[in-house]
Structure 1
Amino acid sequence: MTDPITPAAMAIPKEGYFELTRGRYGPTFPRTPACYGFNIIAKVLDGHEQAIRDYGKQLEAAVTAQPDVLAPLKLHYLRWQLFDVGSGLHFQYQGIFDTDFDKYTEDAVKLFSSTGITTAFTHLVGFPEDWKTNPEAFIMFVREHQVPSFLEYGEYPYVTSEEVKKALRLKAAFSEMLDQMQ
């Protein structure tokens, strides 16, 4: 690994890994300079575009009401897109997080089940109806719709979200101390 203040990039083979290592639910993907993550692309059920957009607003409200509601997922960021490539509306879910693929999806099922927050995936073609009681089916759906990256870059490589927050808290405390010295 490089030091955390020297940017780093990693080219990833088409399969999404360098050496096949089996996780609990399929191949494990490498930790990259951007940490771990995935890209899910799946077709949207006909007529469900607004429901997905509304779900985005519901998730925003949940985070506003309880800023740490998604903390178990160890996220750096999420990005969602809806697009039509000529065969119907598709949803893309991009996420970067600190845990491996299997743990992230297991934690997501637990989080959704314990908080009452559902998932936008319920509006996607082929998503299992029993996902709350069958985490393996949820994970298999995610695996089947995963599109591996072929390049990942980190401006601050391999740094966890907790390390970023800790550095920001330290910066704020240091700034406050300097302000009080004046």
Structure 2
Amino acid sequence: AGSAVDVLGLDNKGAVEAADAVLIVVPWDGHEELVAALAPVLAGKLVISCVNPLGFDKRGAYGLDVEDGSAAEQTQRLVPDAVVVGAFHHLSAVSLWEAEGPLGHEDVLVVGDDRDAKEKVAALAATITGRPGIDGGVLRLARQLEPLTAVLININRRYKTRSGVSVSGIPA
């Protein structure tokens, strides 16, 4: 038996207005239009960009070139008054749906320009993986994190698995 949970249905604007932190988890196509439309209500919020600008063809997944450097940087440009952090790029949606406990075999890499915001996101990561996220540096490094997901998708396809990122050498 679980505890009672309140569920409330809202449109995107209403959900953002009601939240202290917002995760942007959308396909790359339409990302800019969505973030621009929500910019007035995203201002002042902690915005966690989980977007991976990817393309797909018969050879597999690949990272797209992004004019602003990355989806996270595009979000920061569109909402300069938000605190943008990039994280959760490499967690498999299927693993999240099917997991009955923490995804203990994966680390969440967290990038951003605000140390306090990164610490909040690292703590949020612990609720999913069982351990805090790892500070990967400044927001511009999302340029390297986002397309890395294409490599994992291709590994998963080749080996019929759900690979993830695990960083060794970080003290517990």
TM-score by length of 2: 0.26
TM-score by length of structure 1 reads 0.25
Greater relative contact order (Cα < 8 A, sep 6+): 1
